[in-house]
Structure 1
Amino acid sequence: MATSLKKREEIENQFKWKVEKIYKNTDEFEKDFKRLQEMLPEILKYQGKLNEEDKLLEYLKLDEKISRLAGKLVIYAHMKHDEDTGNSTYQSLKDKIFAYIAELSSKQAFFVPEILSINEDTLRKSLEKEELKMYKFMIEDILKKKDHILSKEKEELLAAVSDCMQGPEKIYSALSDADITFPEIKNEDGEMEELTEAKYNRFIQSKDRAVREDAFKTLFDTFKKYKNTMAASLTSNVKNFVFNSKTRKYKNSLESSLKPNNIPVEVYHNTVKTIDDNLDSLHRYVKVKKKLLNLDEIHMYDLYVPLIDTPKTHIEFDEAVEIVKKGLNPLGEEYLNIFTKGIKDGWVDIYPNKNKRGGAYSTGDYDTMPYVLLNYDYKLNDVSTLAHEMGHSIHSYYSRKNQPYIYSDYSLFCAEVASTTNEKLLIHHLIENEKDKNKKLFLINQELEQIRTTVFRQVMFAEFELITHENIEKGIPLTGDDLCKIWHDLNVKYFGEDIIVDEEIDIEWARIPHFYWDFYVYQYATGYAAANSFANSILENGKEKVEKYKGFLKSGSFDYPIEVLKKAGVDMTSPKPVEDTIKRFNELLDMMEGICDN
């Protein structure tokens, strides 16, 4: 009989993150929130005075002080909320600080237009002064965006309506997370069980084909009932982004997403093209899976079923820590010491409890520890999740220790690299050291699935995004039926002639929340490819490459992401990182077929 989840207060403190290191209680939070409210109006005293060197420096220091305080408040509020989402006190804290962040953005809106109004030669001379040198890259970056920055009044207006512009995403979230419910289906024991988004991931991997087919059809048939609403929500979100792009005078929405980080649009297009040119590898995977599953025909709902049963494991958390450390051993003693310190110092909230947010993530800010939320369930996948999220947190640790506040956050383009490098090193260690044939096959399949879902699948998502944005930019309206056809055709292209592309899959686009974060998903693929390159070089060349890699971890955003990666030895303007990932995919297929043929 399944045991019920413990309440938050029933979890021992040693298994909880030490959020009290930020604020001991809500009274301390409220004092700092009041302090933030008192400090914020001070910003406006500098409006119209930034052409004076001393005033510019004063403003930058005050702005940092306010932003760091706001960051602490945000991290505390969202962490306390996620510990127990049913606690109304923490829901209120989170709502209050997040609403105030919009006001903060509005007050800061004059800064960029005013910087752009200063004579560039005068400004650059000021930036050579010792006390202002630190801000040179940040302000040079603003000057590069001059053609896309609006007047103070327009910037204030856009900041003020930013919450309204997020309406489509909020509507989608409310619909998909709260309002849509699914019927019951028969589970593997022949019992009726309610289908949920969380349970779907279990059902679609079931060895019982009837269960995964039923789950697949039930889930997507339910989404299909909301096709028109979902289409209106998604296309409205795209229109908002296209509007912002045009308002800021970019050539198109893709450029407006990539250019602020100095990422050439060719990186996006080259990533899509490199995958399109190598789809025969994915077609081969489908063919191998069909053969090894002994299926007369393979359907979309067969893609996630493991070729080998998941090993029956019960891995205690302390054991998981040791497994991860062995996998990360190539990163050296310093890295492992930080990892161990993080576990001991209370970075990690380990076990699930009633009303705790699901999933896993890394969080934290400049003046807090890095933190990791887990819902550890003693499975091998949870071990991998620990490696992944600690990769994020140690990246943050290095970055914040080595960069000033303004450059301490790494870019979204680099966000998944360190976490995935950890995963790559761990799975490589597990595969290389596994002697049991079935367990080895299971691990090989795990890495194949990582590449299929993180590279091939996300690039398919990226193609869908590009098509939808380009259509709307041309003034071509997209209905639910149009979106379904685009999605269907992409699945046919990506998975090849060996698979039956079931009509239910056509509505899958409506299930992907990432489409509300414009041109975000391709970064999963580029991040994975960069991580694959780092892991390969670390395993092949050892200490020298580890130091280069740690240089990447320490870089934050002191330079543009493409340059940060290039300095560490990974050139994402070249197709090589993606090609090398496909090469690894084919090597894994060879290993799998070799084991199965013996």
Structure 2
Amino acid sequence: MKPEAGKPKRRRDIPTSDKWDTTRLYASHDSWLGHANRLRQSSEATAQLFADTIPTADTLVSALDAYDHIMMEAEKLRHYAFLNLTVDALDHTNRRQQELMLQLDAAIEEAWSFLTPSILAIPEETLRHYYRDSPRLQPHSVRLERIRRLGPHTLDRTGQHLMATYGALADASHRAFSALVQTDMVFGKLETPVGSKALERSNLSWFLRQPDRTLRAAAYQRYLGAFDAHKHTLATIYRGSIHQDIYQSKIHHYTSSRDMVLYPDAVDESVHSTLIESIRKRLPTFHAYFALKRQALGLDRLKPYDLFVPIVKASPVHIPYDEAVGLVCASVSMLGRDFCDTLEQGLLDGWVDRYGNVGKHSGAFTASCYLSDPAVLLNYKEDVLQSLFTMAHEGAHAMHTWYSIRHNPFSRYAYSILEAETVANVHERLLASYLIDRETDVQRKAFLLEQQVEGMLAKLLRQTMLADFEHQMHCGEEEGRPFTLETMRSVYRDLLVHYYGPDVDFDPLSDLEFLTIGHFYQAYYVYTYPVGAAASLVLADKLVAHDPEAIESYLALLKRGGSRYPVDSLAAAGCPIGSSGTYEKAMDEFAQAVTAFARALENVSSRT
């Protein structure tokens, strides 16, 4: 059942069929609390059995098996608390539950803080004997190899214990940001063609796509105005997050925050640098598109609230949720009937929390739990085409998780963000190709080609710019050049001007946009979007062509989970991410997409 237009609902008013059923995890909050209390006691008691020594292969296997059991149960508890909080941050019970979960996580980490130093203390020759003497150790081999690789960055038992007690504080900045932005901020209402409509983080894109430029400007300025009112607080929170990153990197003997984030996945820092350098070299390609857009809209200069409005005035989009599921599944038909049936059933029956409500997390995500089905959060809107692509994106994450769980033990089912974003971008690309190839209406086809260009633009240009800004912020603090709000705004404005070029004229508040980016609180996350987008082009083109080997290698990528490092895993699937050639190909594809759209736009003009 779709929600009433223009009227945000409270969580209790959302139909059961449109939201997660968390009772599949725990029957009630009290049931969850009982399990949490028992797990805390079990974790402490079990950890004490192994805390002193790991003298034999059998003891090591038993310790790892026990730890996995504790962590699987903790993940399930965390999953339940997280899902409840993200759909209704206004509910006191949900907020309290999340705080209790943070305490439980810290207690488990503290109790088991001995495990990694104990493993590192085992001599290499002894570990080889363990593998020979105990086949039961083999499922843990990937984790053991990764633990030992991180040896130089792992503290001794005392240090690990101290860091475990500190763990609950590590996410304080992100939680403060979320509480302020998701719960406390109010953006008011604006008059629209469909009546008075509340402006929210989850529907800003709807306002920015409206044909009325005055309305777009009002929404943009109202939105950033709310952040302007809290700019000093938000800047302080963000700097606090950067300081946390730097502190952690120093404590663990990394050369930088970037090194700390990339090293565990064996991603060389050059991958991040190559991305930024490659996209910067091709900025004129993006600028040419902005010039095309400015001319097509008949404007002297583009303003930031003009960047998302469609050039092509196609008929209004109206794609009911069930129809969207059908389109998403049809676009991946080359992956086989089992794949499509699983995806369809999941999207229709229980995986997805479909529509927005007051207090719900804006945007979209997929949450994984080894003991449960994937959980997909959407804020689906029938009249926004991007909602369809978001469904495809998150559906890809869900299927990635579904396959990984069924082909890997718990210790290696979690895959990297790089692999995740590559897979999700593949599915967006497949959906775009499916819709464009089957569209016969000239104007609608031009509209779809424009949306394809805009999607590539968002990933390759905007997300690279954000990665560039984030890196400059961390480098400045690490090099002893602390930023104030004013200098942060100056850096961000310079990047806006540089990346978007001469045809875009930014507003006085545009340089506050960086304060709205929640992903900045997960350091060096945003770079995975453009890397994944670029890498996905290679795979998607082969899948569209129904290449049997490509289909097999793609499904193998989904099944690998976290069993290999991401650079190696993606290379095995045919996606090299360490080469500038990958980004050159992506930019060439973007240029071709712009050319195809320009031709389609001429066809539309010739018929009007």
TM-score interval, smaller chain: over 0.9
Q: 1:499 to 1:384 in 2, by over 3 A?
A: closer
Q: Secondary structure at the match of 2:164?
A: helix
Pick from 116, 120, 123: which aligns with 1:119?
123
TM-superposed CA distance for 1:455, in Å, is 1.7
Aligned to 1:309: 313
Q: Does 1:578 align with 2:594?
A: no
Distance 1:321 1:586, change over 3 A: same
The 10-residue stretch of structure 1 (2-11 or 449-458) with the greater mean CA deviation from structure 2: 2-11
State the distance in 2 between where 1:157 and 1:213 align: 50
Cα 1:87–1:173 change in 2 (3 A) is closer
Match of 2:278 in 1: 274
Which one of 36, 40, 43 corresponds to residue 39 of structure 2?
36
CA 1:160 to 1:21, structure 2 compared with 1: closer, same or farther past 3 Å? same
Can you list the C-alpha shifts for 1:471-509, whole angstroms capped at 9, x where unaligned?
111111211111111111111111112222333212221
Aligned-partner SS, 1:572: coil
1:240 aligned residue: 244
- The answer as to whether partners of 1:237 and 1:516 remain within 8 angstroms in 2 is yes
Instruction: Describe the superposition over 1:81-100 as per-residue Cα deviations: whole angstroms up to 9, x where unpaired.
Output: 44554544444434322321
Within the candidate set 528, 552, 555, 1:550 is matched to: 555
Report what 2:437 is aligned to. Answer: 432
Q: Measure, in 2, the Cα distance between the counterparts of 1:520 and 1:123.
A: 34
Return the match for 2:143 from 125, 138, 149: 138
Q: Quote the Cα distance in structure 2 between the aligned partners of 1:469 and 1:143.
A: 28
Distance 1:170 1:344 in 2: 31
In terms of mean alpha carbon deviation, does 120-129 or 260-269 score higher?
A: 120-129
2:304–2:505 CA contact under 8 A, matched in 1? yes
**Are 1:297 and 2:301 matched, yes or no?**
yes
Give 1:457 shift.
0.6
d(CA) in 2 for partners of 1:292 and 1:73?
52
Which of 532, 535, 540 aligns to 1:530? It is 535
- Matched with 2:25 is 22
**Amino acid of the residue matched to residue 520 of structure 2?**
F
Distance in 1 of aligned mates of 2:533 and 2:539: 10
Q: Map 1:113-512 to 2 at 5 A.
A: 113-128=117-132, 129-182=134-187, 187-189=191-193, 195-309=199-313, 311-343=315-347, 345-352=349-356, 357-379=361-383, 380-512=385-517
Q: Which amino acid aligns with 1:436?
A: D
How many Å separate the matches in 1 of 2:500 and 2:338?
43
| 3-state SS of 2:376 partner | strand
Does 118-127 or 20-29 show the bigger shift? 20-29
In structure 2, do the counterparts of structure 1 residues 306 and 543 end up closer, same or farther at CA, with 3 Å as the change threshold? same
Distance 1:24 1:270, change over 3 A: same
Mean CA deviation greater in 430-439 or 257-266: 430-439
Aligned length: 597
Return the letter of the residue paired with 1:558: S
Is the 1:370–1:397 contact (alpha carbons within 8 Å) kept by the matching residues of 2? yes
Taking a change above 3 Å as real, the CA distance of residues 36 and 586 of structure 1, as seen in their structure-2 partners, is: same
Q: How far apart are the structure 2 equivalents of 1:320 and 1:91?
A: 33
Q: State the alpha-carbon separation in 1 of the partners of residues 401 and 198 from structure 2.
A: 39
Counterpart of 1:252, as a letter, is S
Amino acid at match of 2:396: G
Give the Cα separation in 2 of the matches to 1:3 and 1:218: 17
CA contact (8 A) 2:36 2:104 kept: no
Deviations, residues 115-142 of structure 1 (Å, cap 9, x unaligned): 1122222123213331112222211211
Shift of 1:15: 4.3
Residues 49, 56 of structure 1: 8 Å contact kept: no
1:402 Cα shift? 0.5
Describe the SS at the equivalent of 2:545: helix
Contact kept in structure 1, 2:202 and 2:379, CA below 8 Å: no
Any idea what the Cα deviations from partners look like across 1:229-259, whole Å, max 9, x if unmatched?
A: 3332222221221121112111122111111
Query: Distance between the aligned counterparts of 2:571 and 2:445, measured in 1?
Result: 34
- Most deviating of 278-287 and 5-14: 5-14
Offset of residue 289 of structure 1 = 0.5
Q: Which amino acid aligns with 1:425?
A: L
- Which segment drifts farther, 214-223 or 147-156? 214-223
Once residues 166 and 572 of structure 2 are traced to their aligned partners in structure 1, the CA distance between those partners, rounded to angstroms, is 39
Aligned to 2:108: 104
Aligned-CA RMSD value? 2.5
Q: Distance in 1 between matches of 2:326 and 2:478?
A: 52
Query: Which runs of 5 or more structure 1 residues have no equivalent in the other structure?
Result: none
Q: Which moved more, 1:547-556 or 1:307-316?
A: 307-316
Distance in 1 between residues matched to 2:13 and 2:193, nearest whole Å: 32
Give the deviation of 1:590 after TM superposition: 0.7
Matched residue SS, 1:499? coil
Partner SS, residue 79 of structure 1: helix
TM-score, scaled relative to structure 2? 0.92
Q: Contact 1:228–1:479 (CA<8 Å) still a contact in 2?
A: no
Task: Tell me the equivalent position of 2:606.
Answer: none
**Given the alignment of the two structures, is residue 72 of structure 1 paired with residue 76 of structure 2, yes or no?**
yes
Question: 1 CA distance for matches of 2:354 and 2:192?
Answer: 29
Matching residue's letter, 1:147: P
Query: Shift in Å at residue 510 of structure 1?
Result: 1.4
Could you list the runs of 5+ residues in structure 2 that have no partner in the other structure?
A: 604-608
Of stretches 413-422 and 164-173 in structure 1, the one that deviates more from structure 2 is 164-173
Cα distance in structure 1, aligned partners of 2:222 and 2:600: 36
> CA-to-partner distance for each residue in 1:212-239, whole Å, 9 max, x for gaps?
2233334334433443333322222212
Counterpart CA distance in 2 for 1:261 and 1:139 is 14
Distance in 2 of aligned mates of 1:182 and 1:307: 27
